[in-house]
Structure 1
Amino acid sequence: MPVGAGKTVGAGHFERAAGSAGAFRASPAFDGAIVALAAGLVQDMKLGQGPTTDIIDVGASATDYIGHTYGTEGA
């Protein structure tokens, strides 16, 4: 990713073709999408606003998929 002045950040590990579900799942963007979905559900379903206890379980597992896809010793 270019950051200016001819410099880049990253090694391109998370580049992915449009529509590639497997590459999306093995990227940091996956956890961002999961958290955004959970936040939307909390808001839309008004969780935590009623008289009873509400529970939502959110699994942010992109790090696991990234490790299995790219290994644990890389960038």
Structure 2
Amino acid sequence: MGKIYSSYKCTGCKKEFVLLTEDIEKFKGYLACPYCNNRNIKSLKVEDSLKECMNERVYKKVHGAIRQVSQK
């Protein structure tokens, strides 16, 4: 069985998103960013687990609200 999830990053708005591999094969002629509709996207990872695919994100509590911060 192949990998289930694929992670992508938009070159326009710099946001990351995850797609199912079967959806990618279905719409391989037209893949675009769901946020800004930019067709310039680059593939980051292909994983079995969604947690592995999204492990780049770190969350931190700031003034009572949870914020996403980049891990560097």
**Which bracket does the TM-score occupy, shorter chain normalised?**
under 0.3
Looking at secondary structure, tell me which structure has more helix per residue. Answer: 1
- What TM-score do you get using the length of structure 1 for normalisation? 0.27
For the pair shown, the structure with the greater C-alpha radius of gyration is 1
When normalised by structure 2's length, the TM-score is: 0.28
Question: Where is the strand percentage greater, Structure 1 or Structure 2?
Answer: 2
